[in-house]
Amino acid sequence: MCAGAVVLTALVISLLPASSASARIKCHNGYQMVAGSHLATPYCQDLLLAHVAREYGSRVSAKAILYNPNVKCDVCRLVGWDIRVQENCKTVLPNLRGRH
């Protein structure tokens, strides 16, 4: 059954048109433009978190935050008090407060 799913998935992917640069998700300050409105999406919020962390001297990549929840927790411990990322960091550190 798994082999059939793999073949079906490969077939569907091969039929999809190649993605263009204009089809990429575009983020601005943690918000994604969706149907003419700015929405705070988890993807864009994580990109913002990586950007803020780098401003504070961290060498973390956005990819590391997107794919590793432990890295996100560590980064939120470092910069989670910053107003730009507080809401995003509450998802992994609910008891996060301002700087002590």
12-67 confidence digits (pLDDT tens):
444 445 545 556 889 999 999 988 899 999 999 999 999 999 999 999 999 999 99
* pTM across the whole model: 0.72
Whether 59 contacts 79, CB under 8 Å: no
Distance CA 49, CA 88 (A): 8
Angle formed at CA 66 by CA 35 and CA 52, multiple of 5 degrees: 85
Dihedral (CA of 45, 46, 51, 56) sign: positive
Which structure tokens are listed for 92?
Answer: 């992994």
